[in-house]
Amino acid sequence: MTCVMRALALAAYALVLFLQPLSAQEPGTTETPSLEDREDNVLRMLQDERSKGASGKGLLMVDVEMRGSCGLIDITIAHPIEGKLEPIHVKGSIRKRDGSASFHGVRTVPAGDYVIASVMCQVLRDKFTQAGPHAKFQVRAGEFVDVGTLHVAHKMDPGFLSSTGTLQRSVSPTSPEKLAHYKSKYPRLMSKRVVRQMALAGPAETTTKRKGLW
């Protein structure tokens, strides 16, 4: 299996895991709901949430790609509630042949304005966090929104004891390979997808000051 196929398979499996809890199952049965049944339930959920207006929820598709040897990526998205930012964690990682780590998340979140507040990279037992905000986006009630991909790359300045570096960020659409694979599995859900790409929060390149390696 090629790296691209493996990445797509893992991304599709993540969406299956998301769809599974929303599937109704008859009491006393062990039959696993079909993909079509799961898709029906998600579409009904979106319709119900749309009727709730600003208090409803939406379905978010977000992607992060990082350079480095991350075994796990944890992104924290946050939205304001009563004047405070409420964090929501989403985890995952797919290793790619070019050395980057690709993360893809699909989950329900309350409608509102969001930022990607931080991105954590875990290498074995070591964790390195790049605090943001990195990008901003919006989720509307009853909406399946694809906000695209955040690319994060950090490089320390030369020198064994260097504590400064450069953080580079950019955004791009969700990859065609992932979209094609999702469409083959969940065509009706994907037909409802709204594309509203996230925007960077701040400059694309900033100077950092910290100890250790990224």
The answer to whether position 154 is within a domain reads yes
Supply the pTM of this predicted model: 0.76
Name the pLDDT band for 34 (thresholds 50, 70, 90). confident
The answer to whether position 116 is within a domain reads yes
d(CA 153, CA 7): 20
The answer to whether position 86 is within a domain reads yes
The answer to whether position 147 is within a domain reads yes
Angle subtended by helix axes 3-19 and 35-50, to nearest 10:
60
E strand or H helix at 176: helix 176-185
- How many separate domains does the chain show? 1
Name the pLDDT band for 7 (thresholds 50, 70, 90). very low
The answer to whether position 171 is within a domain reads yes
The answer to whether position 214 is within a domain reads no
pLDDT in tens, 69-93: 677 778 889 988 877 788 887 766 5
The answer to whether position 75 is within a domain reads yes
Higher pLDDT, 73 or 46: 46
Note down the domain range covering 87: 3-209
